[in-house]
Structure 1
Amino acid sequence: MAPVKEIVLDRLNGKITYPKTFIDKEHRTIDFDSLHVYRTLTTSGDFAITGEKIYIKDRKYNYTWTLETNECLEYWSLYVWYMEKNRPLPPDTAFDEYREKDFERRKTEGFPKPLYPSNIPTPEATKEQQAVRRKIGGW
Structure 2
Amino acid sequence: MNFMIVLILSSVLSQSITWTTKQALPVVRSAPGFAVVNDTVYVIGGSSGGGSLHNTNYVYDPATDLWSTKAPMLTARSQLGCAVVGGKIYAIGGFVGGAQTDTNLVEVYDPASDSWSSKLPMPTSRYAFAIAVVANKIYVIG
TM-score under structure 1 length normalisation: 0.28
Normalising by structure 2, we get a TM-score of: 0.27
Structure with bigger gyration radius: 1
